[in-house]
Structure 1
Amino acid sequence: MDTSRARPSGERGSDFARLSRRIAQEGLLRKRPGYYTARITMVAGLFAASWALFAWVGDSWWQLAVAVLMAVTFGQVTLLAHDLAHGQISRSRRISRIAGLITGNLAIGLSYGWWMDKHTRHHANPNHEDRDPDVSPDFLVWSERQAEASRGLPRFVGRWQALLFFPLLTLEGLNLKVSSFRALRRKSLKNRTLEGLLLSAHVLAYAGALFLVLPPGLALTFLIVHQACYGVYLGCTFAPNHKGMPVLTAEDELDFLRRQVLTSRNVRGGRLVNTALGGLNYQIEHHLFPSMPTANLRRAQPIVREYCESLGIDYVECGLFQSWGQALRHLHEVGRQLREAAAT
């Protein structure tokens, strides 16, 4: 996978180093306290308002509409926790961690420490079938090699994984909570006791609110709708970024710039898409500069795109529905050999 061209004469450092200097000169790595103050205020207001609406509606099937709204709210809080984990909001790791524990563990029931470790490994080796935890063959298989080696449930699901992808996303909210509690058994997880207490407090407060305000049947229905929509929202936010892009193996020796750009995809769209995806629609720029504030990614895009074109590096960008289509076609193609094996 050779996409290199001759380096311009007179310029020092790696291809990424030269791009990084240009980005720094434009001031795009500077923090944006004003932007994040406004965003945190709006998300916190939406979070509080959704719970207030839940209490006001009370024992009514209109609560299912509130469950959908709350799924969006939880998704926006998750995106804030993501920015905290990357140090986009504050330079202080201590402040970022405290805020991350509040937004992650306490507010939405997601272990900040576990998710941060998992996401850091993803950023180091995106779409690498052996090193990226986001493409590990738990239920779905992401490469032909994984499909060939699959056994049990992944082999069964892999046959029709393109059709099952969105239905399976309804379980992602529950999966994140289960994984968060399972992570508490790891000795490598920092502040395990505090994380466990905050996760337990979230579960107790969440379940207590549902069953105090709603009758059991409606409470369970609310829980199912809320967690299912939350999982789909998260899946539709993160899946367009890498799914369907090249899956790397140990044989692929790429430098940092190419490893990040060739495995990522940007999603075109206006302010609505940018808000819904939390800026992750500028995935290429985000992977190259993870600590760059979300508000600066749009300004960095033309610089990065022009630079990649000058080096002959494929810079992929498409619409939101196109990105989902590419991801589903990739899943369908990977599952082909499993369908053929089952047929014979």
Structure 2
Amino acid sequence: MVLPVDPPTRGERQPHSRGSDFSELSRRITEAGLLRRRPLYYTVRFGLVALALAGCVGAFAALGDSWGQLLVAVALAVVFGQLGLAAHDLAHRQVFSRRRPSEAGGLLVADLLLGMSYGWWMNKHTRHHANPNHEGKDPDVSPDILVWSRRQARTARGLPRFIGKHQAALFFPLLTLEGLNLSFSSFRALKSPSVKRPALEGTLLITHFVLYFGGLFAVLSPAKALLFLAVHQGLFGIYLGSVFAPNHKGMPMIEEGTRLDFLRRQVLTSRNVRGGALVDAFMGGLNYQIEHHLFPSMPTPALARAQAITERYCGELGIPYHRTGLIASHREALRHLRSVGEPLRAPAVD
């Protein structure tokens, strides 16, 4: 689905007032106190993740060269997913209001613990937030491997063209490589201007992989080490994909020339996922994707209250607000992938 230029919106205010629509929502959110920092929440949450990481490392050391390490690999994949969510919140200054502690925490969690460049990811994610689902501006919908629109499919060449034919079926298998892809992209980005501290990040990344691979091959036999690596990184990639894919995939794409104000650009291209406390914990609050895009620095525990305010306000303006279940969100994303790949499956015309 691609948004047309200047899409008419049911119940839309006159053009001269559209700039104030977000201001009014922001006022309601601020008056509700939802932008205040939540130090106790993040202390408890990050403390639990740190304990889980320490528990995995302790269990790994205690089990030694055992097939039981595969259970540790599964647990560590979940912990790495939670570390990724922690790095995300640090990057958005949800934890600290100041840049320096946010950056220090992000470098520690992303580079040293996860093996992913904080500077590279920050640059990429900032561009995504500015123009979600915008062809040509959002790096998350660039046709690197998958295609996200029929226009991309029609012009695809090489690997995207080959994979795009069956990308819906290949989506989850490809996610097993996402963790390794993030690390590879991080090392490659050290030469890019987007990484402001390449020496520091490079040192942290190398330290991560020396400890990671050193620990694997020092404790496990080569066969067990490689299997541990496959299980851990594969499930970690699937976890990340299961958290981030439901947020925008299958929502309207924005073409060049489409004019939308900030409120509509963020709401129309994002999808919320309902499901209660379990989904909140699994997705780290990113199931409130609409509110997160509107207020990126809002602490996670405030998002549920913000959701009710935002949905009600969008209803007042007649702005479509999409919210569905976790399984349904994946169905919508996969249906979109299959649909946009259709031009690649069509028989060639002589």
Give me the TM-score of the superposition, normalised by structure 1.
Answer: 0.97
Matched, 1:230 2:233: no
Residue type of the alignment partner of 1:24:
T
Question: Do 1:12 and 1:18's aligned partners in 2 also have CA atoms closer than 8 Å?
Answer: no
Post-superposition shift, 1:208? 0.6
Deviations 1:210-230 (A, max 9, x none): 011101110111011110100
Q: How many residues align?
A: 342
Counterpart position of 1:42: 48
Distance 1:136 1:13 in 2: 29
Q: How does 1:61-100 map to 2 (within 5 A)?
A: 61-100=67-106
In 2, the alpha carbon distance for the partners of 1:338 and 1:14 equals: 43
Q: Compute the displacement of 1:342 (Å).
A: 5.1
What residue number does 1:193 align with? 199
CA shift digits 1:160-204 (9 cap, x unpaired):
000000000001001000000001011342111000000000000
Question: C-alpha distance in 2, partners of 1:208/1:13?
Answer: 55
- Per the TM alignment, residue 5 of structure 1 is displaced from its structure 2 partner at its CA by 3.3
- Provide the residue aligned with 2:261 in structure 1: 255
What do residues 29-69 of structure 1 show as CA deviations (whole Å, max 9, x unaligned)?
01000101111101111111111111112111111111111
Instruction: Kindly indicate whether residue 86 of structure 2 is the aligned counterpart of residue 105 of structure 1.
Output: no
Instruction: Report the Cα distance in structure 2 between the residues aligned to 1:155 and 1:230, rounded to whole angstroms.
Output: 26
Letter in 1 for 2:148: W
User: Quick one: distance in 2 between partners of 1:6 and 1:22?
Assistant: 19
Shift of 1:13: 5.7
Tell me, yes or no, if the aligned pair for 1:4 and 1:313 is still in contact at 8 Å. Answer: yes
C-alpha displacement of 1:118: 0.4
Partner of 2:34: 28
Query: Structure 1 residue aligned with 2:180, among 146, 155, 174?
Result: 174
Task: Check if 1:137 corresponds to 2:150.
Answer: no
Q: The residue matched to 1:318 in structure 2 has which SS?
A: strand
In the alignment, structure 2 segments of 5+ residues that lack a partner are 1-6
In structure 1, C-alpha distance between the alignment counterparts of 2:196 and 2:109, rounded to whole Å: 17
Whole-Å separation in 2 of the counterparts to 1:51 and 1:257: 44
Q: 1:267 aligns to what SS in structure 2?
A: strand
What's the offset of the Cα at 1:4?
A: 5.8
C-alpha deviations, 1:102-159, integer Å up to 9, x for none? 0000001010110011000000000111100000001100001100110111011100
Cα separation, 2, equivalents of 1:52 and 1:153: 41
**Higher RCO, Cα 8 Å, sep 6+:** 2
2:124 maps to what in 1?
Answer: 118
Match of 2:272 in 1: 266
1:51 matched to 2:43:
no
Pair 1:6–1:47, CA change in 2 (3 A): same
Indicate how the Cα distance of structure 1 residues 254 and 206 shifts in structure 2: closer, same or farther if over 3 A, else same. same
Q: Which amino acid aligns with 1:167?
A: P
> What RMSD in Å do the two structures reach over aligned CA positions?
1.4
CA contact under 8 A between 2:91 and 2:102: conserved in structure 1?
yes
3-state SS in 1 of match to 2:246: helix
Q: Which amino acid aligns with 1:31?
A: R
Match for 1:326 among 332, 339, 347? 332
SS in 2 for 1:14: helix
Residue 83 of structure 1 aligns with an amino acid whose one-letter code is D
Report the TM-score when normalising by structure 2.
Answer: 0.95
Amino acid at match of 1:3: T
What SS class does the counterpart of residue 258 from structure 2 fall into?
coil
TM superposition shift of 1:251: 2.6
- The code of the aligned residue for 1:139 comes to I
Aligned 8 A contact 2:250 2:334 in 1: yes
